[in-house]
Every structure is written in C-alpha cells, then in structure tokens.
C-alpha cells in the first residue's frame, strides 16, 4: 500500500475540515498520524474523528493520536498545516516543537504568499511546501467532518535547504506519494506561486461573494447578476496573474465556472468562518494578490471593492 516510500511520521497542525479529512485518509492508509487540536481536543480524544464523505462513505478514526500541546507530539517528518492562514505566524512554536530534523512543512491552505510569514520564523533546515486542496469539506461539529466532493491535493516546493531543483522535486514527489498512497489524487506543481494565483480564480469570487451576498454556489450560479459578477471577478484575477508574469491557460476561468455548475451546493470555507465569527482569510485571498498586482502596475477595482466590503464585514463580525 505504501509503495516504495518509507513510513514517515505525519503531524497535522490544525485539525479542522482539511487537516481532519486528509489526516483520517492518511491514517486509514496505515500512516502514523498525530493530530494537534485546539477547541475540539476533548471531543476528538473522547469520540475520535468522523468523516461523512459523499465519495468514500462514512469513515471513523477512533482512537485518534490527539494532542492539545505540540510539545507532546513525536518528531514528525511531515507536518501538514490545516489551520487558517490568519493564524500562520502564531503556529511557528508548534511546528518547531513537532518537527523532526529536516521535516517538511506542507501548508494546505488557499491564498497567495501564505508561506512567507511562517518561513521567516522557521530555520532553513525545515522545508516549506504549499499544498492546494481542490475539495469541498467542512466541519459539521466537534470532530465531525462532512466531505461533499472532490479531494485532490497539488504539492509545490516553497523554500528550505534543498540543494537544487532536483532535490526539491524529490521532496515534492514524496509528498505526492503520501496522498496517492491514501487514495487521494495528487500532482506535483512546478510553479507554486503561479498555481496559487490560478486557484484564486475560484476563491476570489466565490469565497467573498458567499459572505457578502449570504449565498452558496447554487444560488450564486442561478442568478444572472451574480453570474456576471463572478465572471467579471474571475477575469480580473486572470488579469492580475498575467500582470504578475504568470500563465493562466486559455479558457481556465470558463472551465472553473462550468465545474462549479456541476458541483453540489457548496458554502466556501470563508462563509463558515463568517458564520462562526472567526477572522476571514482576507489578506491571503485578497490583500496579497491586490498588492502584488498593484506592484506590477495593475489595478483590480472589482476585487478591491469586494476586499473593502469584506474587510468592513470582518471587523464588525469578530
Ligand atoms: N474547507 C475546504 O473545503 C477548503 C479549505 N481550503 C483552505 O484550507 C485551509 C483550512 O481550511 P479549513 O479546514 O476549512 O478550516 P477549519 O476552520 O475547518 O480548520 C482550521 C483548524 O485549525 C485549528 N487551529 C487554528 N489555530 C490553531 C492552533 N494554534 N493550534 C491548534 N489548532 C489550531 C482550528 O482549531 P479551532 O477549532 O480551535 O479554531 C481548526 O480546527 C484554509 O486556508 C482554507 O482556505 C482549501 C480548499 C478547500
Ligand atoms: C471549491 C474548490 C474545489 C475550488 O477550487 C476549493 O478547493 C475551495 O473551496 O477552495
């Protein structure tokens, strides 16, 4: 089942929807997975993790190797960060406590440049990677996760002590192999930064509009006005990516638009944050791309208006 790769110890830093889902899949595939939790620690330590997955069926992991303090975790070869980007800078002590020498820290997060604030706080000997998750998953309650659709993880190297490109590729392939061994579609990304821009073509319109308009994907796709707004926002993201020197395949926005029409009705993770009065990932999903585009001489007025509206909502909500 493990193929040719050694059995790394895996730590999940932030066991929410993403961390919980991928952690359970990896544990079920036989990996030694340790889960760091915060508010849901007691519930998970007592009842385990439950994933209700439309594609895979009901899955339960019980007992769970659950921790409320990273210092109690064993040294982990891979650390999968499943916390929101809003807490990245605060996670460094936990990562340092749980990392084995030369560990790979994989940020399973949306947004641009999300690795940077953590990178500054970690030694060069730890490799930092980015993981883009194409999945519809959310927390239903403490330790209970609903997986509606999709699931792929694309992995790219960010920074660290890899001697050269070939060495970083080996690390990325190891990450890809972990997910594949757990039955998850996974691919290596040659250009992490570009791939982050491309994923924003989806997240910039849908995450923000779900909060601003209080609507999930089905009503957003059923209304002529929101459809036009989504298309216009997508076009601006593509414009920003190109201004920053990245490729976006022809027809990419149209493709994402059509994929969304076929998806089950979905509330993006930003809406769940809004609902639970948690900070929204505005800097990673809006602030950073807007700043990068501006630095390249490109104004994105619709995205800017959405960002300012969401910032207003966020300040009143948290
Ligand atoms: N959900 C989805 O379908 C998708 C999400 N993403 C991205 O994945 C990332 C994670 O999202 P998601 O899983 O939905 O988020 P969740 O809110 O479900 O999970 C975040 C988890 O991190 C925990 N956490 C935060 N800070 C700490 C800390 N200091 N110590 C321990 N645990 C901590 C939270 O604990 P607590 O309960 O205490 O807050 C929570 O369990 C985001 O960047 C999101 O944009 C990408 C694609 C799809
Ligand atoms: C909905 C989907 C699949 C879009 O890529 C997603 O991954 C997200 O919510 O970030």
Query: Rounded to an integer, what distance in angstroms lies between the CA atom of residue 113 and that of residue 290?
Result: 12
Work out which ligand 2 atom sits closest to the CA atom of 207: 9
What is the arithmetic mean of pLDDT over 233-256? Answer: 98
* Ligand 2 contact via 53 beta carbon (within 6 Å): no
Q: Say what percent of the chain tops pLDDT 70.
A: 98
Question: Tens of pLDDT along 125-174?
Answer: 999 999 999 999 999 999 999 999 999 999 999 999 999 999 999 999 99
**Centre of ligand 2 from the C-alpha of residue 297, in Å:** 28
* Ligand 1 contact via 138 beta carbon (within 6 Å): yes
Question: Across the strands, what pairs with 187?
Answer: 154
For ligand 1, mutation pick of 15, 17, 39, 318 (most atoms within 8 Å of CB): 17
Q: What is the pTM of this model?
A: 0.97
What is the arithmetic mean of pLDDT over 268-272? Answer: 98
Name the CATH architecture for the domain at 9-190.
3-Layer(aba) Sandwich (3.40)
Topology of 193-315 in CATH? 1.10.1040
pLDDT for res 1: 44
Question: Tens of pLDDT along 33-75?
Answer: 999 999 999 999 999 999 999 999 999 999 999 999 999 999 9
Question: Mean pLDDT across the chain, nearest whole number?
Answer: 97
Q: What ligand has the least distance to the C-alpha of 269?
A: 1
Q: Residue whose CA is closest, atom 17 of ligand 1?
A: 16
Query: Rounded to an integer, what distance in angstroms lies between the CA atom of residue 66 and that of residue 12?
Result: 10
Residues designated as active site? 199
Query: Rounded to an integer, what distance in angstroms lies between the CA atom of residue 163 and that of residue 218?
Result: 47
Q: What ligand has the least distance to the C-alpha of 136?
A: 1
What is the arithmetic mean of pLDDT over 184-196? Answer: 98
Where along the chain do the CATH 3.40.50.720 domains lie? Answer: 9-190
Work out which ligand 1 atom sits closest to the CA atom of 114: 43
**Centre of ligand 2 from the C-alpha of residue 89, in Å:** 24
* Ligand 2 contact via 110 beta carbon (within 6 Å): yes
Question: Tens of pLDDT along 271-307?
Answer: 999 999 999 999 999 999 999 999 999 999 999 999 9
Question: Tens of pLDDT along 4-27?
Answer: 456 899 999 999 999 999 999 999
Question: Tens of pLDDT along 90-110?
Answer: 999 999 999 999 999 999 999
Work out which ligand 2 atom sits closest to the CA atom of 133: 7
pLDDT for res 6: 64
**Centre of ligand 1 from the C-alpha of residue 83, in Å:** 4
């Amino acid at each position: 089942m493990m193929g040719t790769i050694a059995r790394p110890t895996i730590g999940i830093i932030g066991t929410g929807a993403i961390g919980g889902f991928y952690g359970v899949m990896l544990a079920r595939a036989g990996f030694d997975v340790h889960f760091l939790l915060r508010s849901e620690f007691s519930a998970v330590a007592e009842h385990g993790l439950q994933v209700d997955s439309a594609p895979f069926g009901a899955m339960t992991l019980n007992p769970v190797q659950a921790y409320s303090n990273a210092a109690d975790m064993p040294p982990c070869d891979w650390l999968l960060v499943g916390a929101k980007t809003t807490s990245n800078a605060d996670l460094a002590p936990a990562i340092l406590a749980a990392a084995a020498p030369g560990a790979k820290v994989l940020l399973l997060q949306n947004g641009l440049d999300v690795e940077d604030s953590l990178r500054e706080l970690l030694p060069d000997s730890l490799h930092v990677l980015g993981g883009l998750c194409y999945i519809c998953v959310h927390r239903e309650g403490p330790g209970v996760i609903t997986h509606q659709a999709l699931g792929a993880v694309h992995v790219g190297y960010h920074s660290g002590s890899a001697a050269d490109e070939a060495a970083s590729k080996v690390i990325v392939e190891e990450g890809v192999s972990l997910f594949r061994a757990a039955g998850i579609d996974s691919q290596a990304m040659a250009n992490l930064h570009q791939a982050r821009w491309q994923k924003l073509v989806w997240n910039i319109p849908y995450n923000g509009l779900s909060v601003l308009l209080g609507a999930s994907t089905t009503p957003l796709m059923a209304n002529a006005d929101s459809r036009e707004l989504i298309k216009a926002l997508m076009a601006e993201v593509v414009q920003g990516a190109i201004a920053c020197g990245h490729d976006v395949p022809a027809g990419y926005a149209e493709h994402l638009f059509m994929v969304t029409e076929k998806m089950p009705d979905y509330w993006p993770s930003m809406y769940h944050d809004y609902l639970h009065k948690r900070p929204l990932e505005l800097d990673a999903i809006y602030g950073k791309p807007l700043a990068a585009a501006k630095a390249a001489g490109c104004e994105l007025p619709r995205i800017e208006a959405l960002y300012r509206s969401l910032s207003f909502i966020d300040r009143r909500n948290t």
